[in-house]
Amino acid sequence: MSDRLDVRKTYKLLINGAFPRSESGRTYEVLSEHGDFLANVAQGSKKDVRDAVVAARGAQTKWSSASAYNRGQVIYRLAEMAESRRAELGEHVGLAEGLGAKQSAKSVARAIDRIVWYAGWTDKIAQVFGGANPVAGPFFNFSVPKACGVVGVVAPQESSLEAFVDAVLAPICSGNSVVAVASERRPTPSVLLGEMSATADFPPGVLNILTGATGELAPILASHEDVDGIDLSGLDEVVANELHALAAGSIKRVYRSGHDAPASTRRLRAFIETATVWHTIGQ
Amino acid sequence: MFIASVGRVSTVPLRLVVPDEIDVVIARSTDAPIVESEAQLRTVLSSLSGVDAVGVEARAAKLATRSIKKSTKMSAIDMAISMVDLTTLEGADTPGRVQSLCTKALRPDPRDLTVPSVAAVCVYPDLVAQARRTLAGSAVAVAAVATAFPSGRASMAVKLLDVREAVAAGADEIDMVIDRGAFLSGRLGQVYEEIVAVKEACGDAHLKVILETGELVTYDNVRRASWLAMLAGADFIKTSTGKVGVNATQPVALVMLEAVRDFAETNGRVVGVKVAGGIRTTKDAMKYLVIVNETAGSAWLTPQRFRFGASSLLNDLLMQRLKQQRGAYVRPDEFSGD
Amino acid sequence: MNDKNLEKSRLGALVYDPAPESASIANIKPSYGLFIDGAFSDASSHEHFVTLNPATEEVLSTVSRASDADVDRAVSSARRAYEKVWSKTSGAERAKYLFRIARLIQERSRELAVVETLDNGKPIRESRDIDIPLAAAHFFYYAGWADKLDHAGYGANPQPLGVAGQIIPWNFPLLMAAWKLAPALAAGNTCVLKPAETTPLTALVLAEILQQAELPSGVVNIITGDGSTGAALVEHPGVDKIAFTGSTEVGRLIQQRVASSAKHLTLELGGKGANIVFEDAPIDEMIEGIIDGIFFNQGHVCCAGSRLLVQESIADEVLRRLVRRVEQLRVGNPMDKNTDVGAINSAAQLARIEELTAFGEREGATRYSSSCVLPEKGYWFAPTVFADVAQSHRIAREEIFGPVLSVLSFRTPEEAVAKANNTNYGLACGVWSEKGSRTLWVAERLRAGVIWANTYNRFDPASPFGGVRESGFGREGGRQGLEAYLNV
């Protein structure tokens, strides 16, 4: 054992590319699966949600109008960052989920491979989900999938990294910006991923991560009228039902199923809008 | 001068200017605006709005669904008869054929004197004199195709001589062709000059300028050629010679009627439209009248401002007229062949 | 008073004699029951309501009002048909049923057009040339998908959802029924369809067509009623999917109600479409497009181009031409083949249009209304253009759903996009310009599900239709339209 004292880290929020403490000044204690103290994590508030949504809105147009190639590069860069910090991620996933070293390493590997999968999707989405439509008339008619805008993500509670990767990258790779509420009890792997995103050329505001009480933050996100879609997969059914009804206030797109097969594109499609353009064809 | 008034951007305060309100006199050549340079002409023509082919065809197709029935049909048939330029433009034309055509023009249905005369008889220049003789004293005009009709491929001197001889032989109206080659290769000044010169050679005769829209191909060209002809002094703009693959079409007529409407609004001079070639049925004629009615307006629903260049159309109009009267279909042989 | 009647134009002096389509073709029965399990039956409560011809206020027929018990009967019938028949019917066989239905619609198209016009008030030209042919086309299009779902882009062997409850509006009654039924059936679902209260008749003729097509009993059930019938359908636990087309207000309620169920949901809601006109637009076609955009179907169109955004440099010219063109519109008897603008569908809708337009005048917009003579009986509103409209006016923000256009202006493409997007809706927009690159630049930035460039109000079964934001979610039409009825 080293006699050197650890330098501990403060786990903060990620809003608009910066790592602020919660505006409320609150933190909460995160314990490992075995009940050991892990960290004091920022406990986000209503105003943090507000700020994160403003940041996400501000970043969204530019992110979605960046070339799909560019978005793919950025996401792939995140995989590179994660790869180089596999050990650290593995340690956190292990502590958070109570997994042994081998299992947590496998989980991290799957998560990174998933990031790569999404990196490859960015410039396929339009071809797979869009295309030309043979209308009966002198029109060139084509459908383009577009981002739906700002997506709120209530990340799954159990899977601290893998599920988080899926939940945030599915909307991001199609050009949405995201305000994510991390797993309440197991937030540190997602906070780490957020830190990596900042060094992976993610434009500020594209990915915002809030830690704190899911029960406090999720309703604010669900009722926020400037949030266009919401992933409720981190909530139990009763709460998800309530928030789904709240989300209906502004006709949000709502994604709830958390059990899609890995190859499913359901989550990807949940936050895509098909825009169809007609143009006349004539001399 | 006039250039300022033909721009698309209206500076007049908002109020309805309906062409019908304009006190219209068919202009003489001296009234025609003069473009001072080819550059000026280009400026004017390029300031014109483009035409969306899909939109104009859809609009024409929609107007074609208008249902013309009963008394409207009866009056529209008579209107159409009075707008016909009864035409024969064959190499085999003879004075005899022209004479019988003129007889028909004067009194399309000898048994029914309520049938109006047609507007004009349209012939080659060498047969003008014959037509003039037969039609003497009548309101039916003699129209001559000239300027090396139908191709227009002759020297300017030949074209002008063609016109002068036709006028001298008694033509009231001259149907000239523009130089489509010049237009398509961008020699707009040349096309303009030719029309001005022919107009001058026409003297008192009315000038119809044939754009040969089937060779201009695009609606943008049709619109520009219409304006070019009107600026150069045309009394009428006409779609076609009837001698090429594509003749008058309803969308082309629509574009030309928009042009005369807009020209009248901005320049105060009313120009007529003649559709020619391929119009054989009453149904077709009705469709054109609807387009006139709903595009340029009722002021154009007169033989002074709208014509059909046709030959077999007349008999179909007469047949339909009789059918309306009798309430039963009639034989084609009820009417003389020409 | 800002009410400036249009100066009377003499355009249209070739006075068209009335050319009425014959109402007798319609063959409307004095009363209709509910179409459940392949047969017509009376409502359990024996309650009825009448459907009127909005152009004359005459009663056309009496239809049954489905109660909760009837909704239950219809859903049970659909469930049985799903489990016993339709889910075991191969895609190729389903396709043939849909092809049959398409053909039968074509065969009875004239009858359907007349019924539609009598019940809805829309011009016969539109029901004849647009509604009915497109309805048939939708069945043709989706028929072909039924045995090709593996190729629809959602993985191999995609499964249907089960029983679909479908609630449709009164503006395109048969067409909306086709938009709902065709993809649902192709994907292998069974259906309970509720037509709008004021326009039930073509759906009931469609029920007869389904009988003629020998579609297995219960695969499609058609139940008439009012909002309470629709609510019962939404709430019914036996329904796996709700597809709704109608107002944003009701859509919101439906989303709230299904939130705590496993029901799938697609919504096609309201809109406040911007028609953006640049100075280099093809002016004559653009004027026609603006007219079509707002006066097609009396403006009872969720994707209507109800906000005209015109570049300032041509604003006066466009308004002048527009006002002249409005005056030319032939308003009147919907059964006349020469009618351009028909009757408002109901007294309630007319009241709403009148209320909002009155507000427009009070807010200071300049009103131009056609001087057309409106019939004395029936529900009518003269085509109207409001100039000098500010972005903040109610008539620029709220869906009027009537023949009323609000004209606003802009200076740059950026401003046009900003103004077009400054709404909670996002269904459709138009862009008019001869400059392709700018058109595509604008199209890329518009928040709308459908963008028409140099055209407006075009529909095709192969073209996905649907909105963003508060205009709803999900698409109808095209390959994307299948997604709404597959568990993918």
Q: What is the pLDDT of residues C326-355, one digit of tens each?
A: 999 999 999 999 999 999 999 999 999 999
CATH of the domain at B257: 3.20.20.70
User: In this structure, what token pair is assigned to residue C429?
Assistant: 């927009």
Q: Would residue B19 count as lying in a domain? A: no
- Name the residue with higher pLDDT: C121 or B15: C121
A67 in contact with C, Cβ within 8 Å: no
* Candidate from A225-229, B40-44, B118-122 with smallest mean pLDDT: B40-44
Of B54, B217, B219, the CB nearest to A281: B54
- For the CA atoms of C183, C447, C270, A151, what is the dihedral angle to 10 degrees? 80
Can you tell me the mean pLDDT for B267-275? 95
Query: Choosing among B14, B46, B258, B301, which should be mutated to test the C contact, i.e. which has the most C CBs within 10 A?
Result: B14
Which segments of C4-130 does DSSP mark as H helices, in order? 68-84, 91-107, 109-120, 124-126
Note whether residue B281 is domain-resident: yes
Q: Do B49 and C14 touch (CB under 8 A)?
A: no
Complex prediction ipTM: 0.95
Interval C205-224 mean pLDDT:
98
- In this prediction, residue B161 carries a pLDDT of 97
Q: Which of C16, C316, C320 sits opposite B68 (nearest CB)?
A: C16
Question: How crowded is residue B28: how many other Cβ atoms within 10 Å of its Cβ?
Answer: 13
Interface residue A127 vs chain C (CB under 8 A): no
B16 inside domain: no
Rounded CA gap, C142 and C461, in Å? Answer: 8
Interface of B with A in 221-250 (CB under 8 A): none
**Least confident stretch, A173-182, B16-25, C146-155:** B16-25
- C-alpha C307/C-alpha C309 separation (Å) is 6
Q: How confident is the model at residue C259 (pLDDT cuts 50, 70, 90)?
A: very high
Q: What pLDDT, on the 0 to 100 scale, is given for residue B287?
A: 97
Rounded-to-integer distance, Cα C448 and Cα B178, Å: 47
* B18: in domain: no
Q: Within an 8 Å CB–CB cutoff, is residue C129 touching chain B?
A: yes
**Average pLDDT of span B296-306:** 94
Any domain includes B11: no
Cα distances from C295 to residues B284, C99, C325, C452, in angstroms, run 27, 33, 11, 16
Asked whether residue B336 carries a pLDDT value surpassing 90, the answer given is no
Number of C-beta neighbours around residue B68 at 10 A? 24
Helix (H, G, I), strand (E, B) or coil at A208: strand
Q: How far apart are CA C444 and CA A67, in angstroms?
A: 13
pLDDT digits (tens, 9 = 90+) for C443-487: 999 999 999 999 999 999 999 999 999 999 999 999 999 999 999
At A8, the pLDDT band (50, 70, 90 cuts) reads confident
Paired with C409 in beta bridges are C310
Give the residue numbers of B marked as catalytic: 175, 238, 274
CB contact under 8 A, B54 and A139: yes
Cα distance between residue C361 and residue C393, in whole Å: 10
B45-62 average pLDDT score: 97
The verdict on C320 touching A (C-beta cutoff 8 Å) is no
Residues in chain B with CB shorter than 8 Å from the CB of A141 are none
Q: Which of C455, C469, C470 to mutate to test the interface with A (most CBs of A within 10 A)?
A: C469
Residue B41: inside a domain:
no
Best CA proximity match to B234, nearest among B262, B276, B263: B263
Question: What length does chain A have?
Answer: 283
- Please choose, from the candidates A196, A209, A211, A195, the residue with its C-alpha nearest in 3D space to the C-alpha of residue A30: A211
**Confidence at residue C14, expressed as pLDDT on a 0 to 100 scale:** 81
Mutation target vs B (from C7, C279, C285, C317; most B CBs, 10 A cutoff)? C285
Q: Which of B51, B52, B54, B222 to mutate to test the interface with A (most CBs of A within 10 A)?
A: B54
Residue C157 C-alpha, separation from nearest chain B C-alpha, in angstroms: 40
Ordered by where they begin, the domains of chain A are 10-280 (3.40.605.10)
Hey, what are C53's tokens? 């011809």
- Alpha-carbon Rg of chain C, whole angstroms? 22
Phi, psi of C42 (to 5 degrees): -75, 155
pLDDT at position A276 is 98
All residues of chain B having their beta carbon less than 8 Å from the beta carbon of residue A137 are: 54
Closest in C259, C452, C460 to A136, CB measured: C460
By C-alpha distance, which of A179, A169, A260, A167 is closest to A222? A179
Beta bridge partners of A86: none
Question: Which chains, if any, share at least 3 CB pairs under 8 A with chain A?
Answer: B, C
Q: Judge whether A139 is closer than 8 Å to chain C, CB to CB.
A: yes
Which H or E element spans position C404?
strand C404-410
Provide mean pLDDT across the span A8-26: 95
- CB interface of A with C, residues 244-273, below 8 Å: 244-245, 247-251, 253-254, 263-266, 269, 273
Cross-chain residue pair A280–B54, CB shorter than 8 Å = yes
Helix, strand, coil shares of chain C as percentages rounded to 5? 40, 20, 40
**In whole numbers, what is the pLDDT of chain B averaged over residues?**
89
Determine contact, residues B175/B210, Cβ cutoff 8 Å. yes
- Whether A280 sits inside 8 A of B53 (CB atoms) is yes
Model confidence band, residue B308 (pLDDT cutoffs 50, 70, 90): very high
Query: Mean pLDDT over residues B258-273, rounded?
Result: 95
> Which chain A residues have a beta carbon less than 8 Å from that of B53?
138, 280, 282-283
pLDDT (0 to 100) of residue B36: 83
Q: How confident is the model at residue B16 (pLDDT cuts 50, 70, 90)?
A: very low
Q: How confident is the model at residue C13 (pLDDT cuts 50, 70, 90)?
A: low
Mean pLDDT across A159-163: 96
In DSSP terms, C40 is beta-bridged to C35
Q: Residue C77 is encoded by which pair of tokens? A: 């019938």
- Could you tell me which chain B residue has the CA closest to the CA of A282? B53
The proportion of chain C whose per-residue pLDDT surpasses 70, expressed as a percent, equals 97
pLDDT > 90 fraction of chain C, expressed in percent and rounded: 96
What whole-number distance in Å separates Cα of residue A265 and Cα of residue A271?
A: 11
- How would residue B7 be classed by pLDDT, with cut points 50, 70 and 90? very low
C-beta separation of B19 from B297 below 8 A: yes
- Contact (CB, 8 A) for C2 and C366: yes
Name chain C contacts of A250, Cβ cutoff 8 Å: 424, 469-470
In angstroms, the Cα distances linking A128 to A75, A148, C151, C451, C464 are: 19, 17, 11, 20, 15
Give backbone dihedrals phi and psi of A154, rounded to 5 degrees, phi first: -100, 100
Contact C87, C175 (CB under 8 A): no
Q: Do B217 and A283 touch (CB under 8 A)?
A: yes
Q: How far is CA B292 from the centre of its chain?
A: 12
Eight-state DSSP code of residue A251 = T
A-chain residues near B52 (CB < 8 A):
280, 282
**C-alpha distance from C33 to closest chain A C-alpha (Å):** 34
Tell me the C-alpha distance between B296 and B277, whole Å. 21
Q: Do B50 and C284 touch (CB under 8 A)?
A: no
Query: Which structural domain, as residue segments, surrounds residue B298?
Result: 46-327
pLDDT band at B33; cut points 50, 70, 90: low
Q: Which residues contact A261 (CB under 8 A, 6 or more apart)?
A: none
Total domains in the fold of chain B: 1
Q: Which one-letter amino acid corresponds to residue C174?
A: L
CB pair distance less than 8 Å for A280 and B52: yes
**Mean pLDDT, residues C55-83 taken together:** 98
H or E stretch covering B143: strand B141-145
Asked if residue B25 is part of any domain, the answer here is no
Catalytic residue among C191, C302, C303, C372: C302
pLDDT in tens, A47-75: 999 999 999 999 999 999 999 999 999 99
User: What span, in angstroms and rounded, lies between the C-alpha atoms of C364 and C359?
Assistant: 9
Q: Is A139 close to B219, i.e. CB distance below 8 A?
A: no
**Domain annotation covers residue B269:** yes
Q: Rounded mean pLDDT of A201-223?
A: 98
- C-alpha to C-alpha distance for C483 and C184, rounded to whole angstroms: 10
Mutate to test the interface with B, among C4, C16, C370 (most CBs of B within 10 A): C16
Cross-chain residue pair B298–C12, CB shorter than 8 Å: yes
Give the gap in angstroms from C-alpha B17 to the nearest C-alpha of chain C: 8
Hey, are the CB atoms on C455 and B299 less than 8 Å from each other? Answer: no
Predicted pLDDT at B1: 24
Q: Does B217 touch chain A (CB under 8 A)?
A: yes
pLDDT of C190 over the 90 cut: yes
Does the pLDDT value for residue B263 go beyond 50?
yes
Q: What is the pLDDT of residue C233?
A: 98
C156 vs A: CB within 8 A: no
Q: Do B18 and C10 touch (CB under 8 A)?
A: yes
Is residue B144 classed exposed, middle or buried when 0-12, 13-18 and 19+ CB atoms within 10 A define those classes? Answer: buried
Cβ-defined contact of B18 to C129 (cutoff 8 Å): no
A100 interfacial to chain C (CB closer than 8 Å): no
Q: Please return the burial class of B170, using the count of CB atoms within 10 Å of its CB with bins 0-12, 13-18 and 19+.
A: middle
Helical H segments across chain B, by residue range: 2-6, 38-46, 53-63, 70-82, 95-106, 128-135, 156-168, 180-184, 188-202, 213-216, 219-231, 250-267, 282-295, 313-326
Tell me how far apart the alpha carbons of residues A194 and A30 are, in angstroms, rounded to a whole number.
Answer: 17
